[in-house]
Every structure is written in C-alpha cells, then in structure tokens.
Homo-oligomer: A and B are copies of this chain.
C-alpha cells in the first residue's frame, strides 16, 4: 500500500475561494454553511478528478488530504472569519473523504490568526478528529504570513495545542501558508524556510522532553535540513545537544516532496528510514512535466522506486508503515476501507 501523506485540496470548486474573497473584502452575502450546502457532491467528485487520475496513474492508494495550504491565509481575517474559513475548508475535505473513503483521509486546517492563542484552536481540531475522522492537522508556525511574529514552536504558548494533539494522538504537519512579505515567494522560499526554521527550533529546544509522544511532519523533504545534515549534526554537537537521530527518532518525520532524483537520493541516504514518510504535494506547487525525465516533477514515487540500494522493507516503511505509525488513527480507516464493498486497491 502507498500512502501519500501530503496532498492539499487545491482544486476546490470556485465558490469556495469566492466565499473567502467576499469574507475578506466584507462583501459576504451568505454563511460558510450555505456555501457548503450549495456545492453538490457531483461538483466535489469532479473537482478531485485530477487527484484521482494521478493516484491511479502513479499507483498511490491513499492521500492524506488537507485544505489548500496557501489559501489558509492566517494573516488575513480575524478570529471569527478564520474560524468560519477553517470550518468550511475542513468540511469540504471531509465530504471528499466520505465520497472516496479509500482514496482520501482528512487532515485539518486550524483557525489560526496573527497573535491568536493556540488554546483557541483545539475545538476545531477536536471536531475534525472526533467527528469527521481526521488524522492530523497542519500547523502554521508563522500565522503572520512571512513576518514571523509568533514565538518559536518550542515556546510554551503553543503548549495548549500540543496537549490536544497528544491527547488525540494525532501529528501536526508544520506548514506555512501564503506569504504577504514580498521577500518570500510562497512555494519557492517561504515553505522551505519554514521547514528549515522549525527543525532548528526543535534542535535547540526541549519540546519533546515535555511531550515525548508529540509528532511533527516537516514537509517538502525537510526544507534545507537533509542537504545540510552535516551542518546540523555539527551544530548539535557544538551546542551540546543530543545526537540528531535521537532528537528526531519518535518525534520528527520528513516527507518526500523533493522533485528530482539527486535530492531524493540524498534524503534517503542521510535520514533514518524510520523518519521518512512518503509525500508528493500533488496537486501542488509544481504542476508540469520535467523535460529531463518526461515525467511529472511531483511524481515522487518514481524517484524512490529508482533508488536501487533501497530494500523492500525500507520502501514499505516509507510508503506505508511509517504513516501508520505517525498517523495511528489512519489504521482503522484503512482497515474499514479495505473491507468495504468493492474495495480493491488497499493491499497493493
């Protein structure tokens, strides 16, 4: 089985973004619930056709699916607006997961705001996990959208959220949203910088002493981290921090959203295989075909399969077993989907 832990619902019906724009500009004429109700199941089915086609073509079975990251826009909107927006986005992901229970499992957007309090987001997290069957959340370490005004992820102000994550036994993917700072291109700089930044925060802090079972997925192949693994090992050593393999063992996982073979080879060479979860970001940041290979840049499964020293056991960890470990709530969902009528693709 192949579980893609990093998929965003980037192809939502246009009514959804129209709602957000109306919300932001104060021209709102209906509620999020009304927008949700007005979107038909057929529209949703049609909207995820690209994802389903890519899954089938690439041989991935299940996508851990969350609202479009760049549209979270936590730097835009107040607490009420962002709560409503998160709820709409999460509800739509949930509907897609219900329509295609073998292909999608949900991860939620949090109702973050600039200066917002992590304790306020637990309600939506709990609703998504307990009522909608979601298996994790995306956590934005910079709700200011590129101004980085929130405290580091190791700061105690984040603890109320971490307590809920631990209670619910769900991980957070560290994922920023769009950038309103002209210095940072979203997918070409801000995303990767956030990944790098979060890792270094974890390296310097003692967060996992306080939360031994808290789990983070650092997306986009860990930003700059694997490429600079020697630098990080050296910094940790110079700072008298634990060896990095001990730091990350049960708490930090990297996805495989790296869009060329040399990068993927590096990731798989330097990172412990137990800390890598398969991801593609499909349909996401890069949508075209690499003229050098004739395949989609974000068909990350191909790069992994081409790495000959990687044994069957290691592949199975990356494609399936690590995701079961990081997202334990996925296990009964997989089993239920496997035993559902017409289930065919869950034991690949």
By a beta-carbon cutoff of 8 Å, the part of chain A in contact with chain B is 141-142, 146-148, 150-152, 155, 181-185, 187-189, 192-193, 196-197, 199-201, 203-204, 220-221, 223-224, 226-235, 237-238, 258-263, 265-266, 269-270, 285-288, 290-292, 297-298
Assuming A187-B235, A233-B260, what are 20 further A-B pairs, CB within 8 angstroms?
A142-B183, A146-B148, A151-B182, A188-B200, A189-B200, A221-B227, A226-B227, A228-B263, A229-B262, A230-B258, A230-B260, A230-B263, A231-B286, A231-B297, A235-B286, A237-B288, A237-B291, A262-B266, A262-B270, A263-B270
> 19 A-B pairs, CB-CB below 8 angstroms?
A148-B184, A184-B197, A185-B200, A185-B204, A188-B204, A193-B224, A221-B227, A224-B224, A227-B258, A228-B259, A229-B262, A229-B263, A230-B286, A231-B286, A231-B297, A233-B259, A233-B260, A262-B270, A265-B266
Q: Which residues of B sit under 8 angstroms from A183, Cβ to Cβ? A: 141-142, 148, 150-152, 197, 201
* Structural contact, A266 and B227, CB atoms closer than 8 A: yes
- Tell which of B193, B258, B263, B298 touches A193, judged by Cβ atoms closer than 8 Å: B193
- The CA of A228 and the CA of B281, in the complex, are separated in Å by 14
- The CA of A232 and the CA of B286, in the complex, are separated in Å by 9
Q: Which residues of B sit under 8 angstroms from A150, Cβ to Cβ? A: 183
- The CA of A227 and the CA of B228, in the complex, are separated in Å by 9
* Structural contact, B234 and A288, CB atoms closer than 8 A: yes
With A224-B224, A258-B227 in contact, is A287–B185 under 8 Å at CB?
A: no
* Structural contact, B230 and A290, CB atoms closer than 8 A: yes
- The CA of A189 and the CA of B226, in the complex, are separated in Å by 13
A238 and chain B: residue at smallest CB distance: B288
Interface centre among A142, A183, A286, A291 (most CB of B within 10 A): A183
Q: Which residues of B sit under 8 angstroms from A227, Cβ to Cβ? A: 221, 224, 226-227, 258, 263, 266
- The CA of A260 and the CA of B155, in the complex, are separated in Å by 31
Q: Which residues of B sit under 8 angstroms from A187, Cβ to Cβ? A: 231, 235
Q: Which residues of B sit under 8 angstroms from A142, Cβ to Cβ? A: 183
Q: Which residues of B sit under 8 angstroms from A200, Cβ to Cβ? A: 184-185, 188-189
- The CA of A270 and the CA of B265, in the complex, are separated in Å by 12
Q: Which residues of B sit under 8 angstroms from A204, Cβ to Cβ? A: 185, 188
A303 and chain B: residue at smallest CB distance: B230
A146 and chain B: residue at smallest CB distance: B148
- Tell which of B188, B220, B235, B269 touches A235, judged by Cβ atoms closer than 8 Å: B188
- The CA of A117 and the CA of B237, in the complex, are separated in Å by 40
CB distance from A86 to the nearest CB of B (A): 23
A-B pairs with the 3 shortest C-beta distances? A230-B260, A230-B259, A234-B286
A192 and chain B: residue at smallest CB distance: B224
* Structural contact, A203 and B188, CB atoms closer than 8 A: yes
With A183-B148, A192-B224 in contact, is A259–B231 under 8 Å at CB?
A: yes
- The CA of A279 and the CA of B307, in the complex, are separated in Å by 30
